[in-house]
Amino acid sequence: MILWVARHAPVADPGARCYGRTDVAVTVPHDRAAATLAASFPPNEPPPEAVWTSPVSRCAAVAEHLAGHWRAAFRVDAALYEMNFGAWDGLCWTDIRARDGEAYERWMREWEHVAPPGGEAPQDIERRVRAWLTSLSLEPAQSHGLVAHAGVVRALYVVLEGCSWPDAMGRTVEHLAWVPFRLGHS
């Protein structure tokens, strides 16, 4: 089974805001982002039979367009949300530092094991993604597409390729570019 993964389009305000689960504007309209992904899908590969996404529109709207284009099943799963930044989600990073300086500094030092207040640490998103991958074995499709967040893509590197979190975080996750993962049957 193959899982084809692509990150959503770039957000309109990158870097200034902590936007994990917050619905934010993107720089490419959803239909155009889907057209870009459809056109860049490897021509020698059959298109996915199911297209998955998180509920957030920067992924879901694109995935819905792709599913329609390919006449594939459209699947939304909360396990595919971006990392939960809890109380910080939606805030500007400068406001987070000013408001929660000590917690922010601790998170920056120990990000592998510490979660933002009310949020998740990397092992939490890894656990969600691992459970979702297990559920794919119940699906009849032989190939799946996923329009995803960078945190989910990095969790896939950890779960499917055995990367450490620091290595996964060091990898660039391009916007609107396909990455194939082979899924084994257990």
Under a CB-based contact definition with an 8 Å cutoff, are residues 44 and 63 in contact?
Answer: no
Q: CA-CA distances (angstroms) from residue 152 to 43, 70, 97, 139, 180?
A: 25, 23, 25, 20, 14
- Dump pLDDT digits (tens) for 146-185: 999 999 999 999 999 999 999 999 999 999 999 999 987 5
User: Strands 2-7 and 50-53, how do they pair?
Assistant: unpaired
Q: Which distant-in-sequence residues (6+ apart) come within 8 Å of 109 by Cβ?
A: none
Give the three-class secondary structure for 85: coil
Whether the per-residue pLDDT at 14 is higher than 80: the answer is: no
Rg (CA), the chain: 16
Mean pLDDT across 15-31: 91
SS (H, E, C) 3-25: EEEEECCCECCCCCECCCCCCCC
The CA distance from 120 to 83, in Å, is 6
pLDDT band at 138 (very low <50, low <70, confident <90, very high): confident
Q: Cβ contacts of residue 44 below 8 Å, gap of 6+?
A: none
* Residue 17 near residue 82, CB atoms below 8 Å: no
pLDDT band at 69 (very low <50, low <70, confident <90, very high): very high
Q: Smallest Cα–Cα separation from 177: which of 3, 8, 2, 1?
A: 8
**Domains assigned to the chain:** 2-182 (3.40.50.1240)
Q: Say whether 175 sits in a helix, a strand or coil.
A: strand
Q: Is the pLDDT reported for residue 15 higher than 80?
A: no
Confidence grade of residue 16 (pLDDT, cut at 50, 70, 90): confident
| pLDDT tens-digit series, residues 32-53 | 999 999 999 999 999 999 999 9
CB neighbours of residue 76 within 10 Å: 15
Instruction: List the helix and strand counts (H, then E) for the chain.
Output: 7, 5
For residue 109, pLDDT over 80 is answered with yes
Q: What integer best gives the mean pLDDT of the chain? A: 94
Q: What is the pLDDT of residue 186?
A: 40
